[in-house]
Amino acid sequence: MAKLYFRYGAVGSAKTLNLLAVAHSYTQQNKKVFVMKPELDVRFGQDSVTSRAGLSRPADLLLGPESTLPFAQLTAYHCVLVDEAQFLTAASVEQLREVATTYNVPVICYGLRGDFRTRLFPGALRLMELADEISEVKTTCFFCNKKAVFNLKLIDGQATVHGPVVDLGSEEKYLPACSGCYANKLNLNWDTSEGLVAR
């Protein structure tokens, strides 16, 4: 049976670049890959999967809240790759589980684990629950050399935990941060009963 994989990492950890490298490897072996992403991700163009390094390829399918996967079509492919998987609905993740389980096509999802408030995205939560294999695409903190685990949001250059959870942006808005630098930049108390509380 094929597997459902979730490869997560903080912003700037080259998740999309990893996806594109896997797609290239399959293509070099004359194997067919099917690439999809959420339709709301329009940062680098509606129809393309693009890394911050500038590499890109067309998306074969854009996933919306009501999307149904073309199961019969996917059986002709050797692998399914999904970018920005944190923005998927639980239903889409469950369909991807079906692709791997019933149709025996490996599915590799790349995305963020948590939002800038350190809470799991719905798509990431369901992937954590359903994936056969979960691995981290690592990167270092923007401010020091420790491993980044959180995504620090900036508004006008200032760190914040306010604003909409889905707020697309790149380096001008989000930076990878270790737990210490994240708390320091936000001047936060870690109060698990109330969530993040700014001092």
Q: Looking at the annotation, which residues are catalytic? A: 84
74 three-class SS: helix
Separation between Cα atoms, residue 191 and residue 178, nearest integer Å: 18
Residue type, 196: L
CA atoms of 107 and 77, how far apart (whole Å): 11
Instruction: Report the residue count for the chain.
Output: 199
Helix (H, G, I), strand (E, B) or coil at 25: helix
Q: How many angstroms separate the Cα of 159 from the Cα of each of 40, 92, 111?
A: 24, 32, 22
Distance CA 64, CA 172 (A): 26
DSSP strand pairing (4-8 vs 107-111): parallel
Secondary element (H or E) of residue 183: helix 179-186
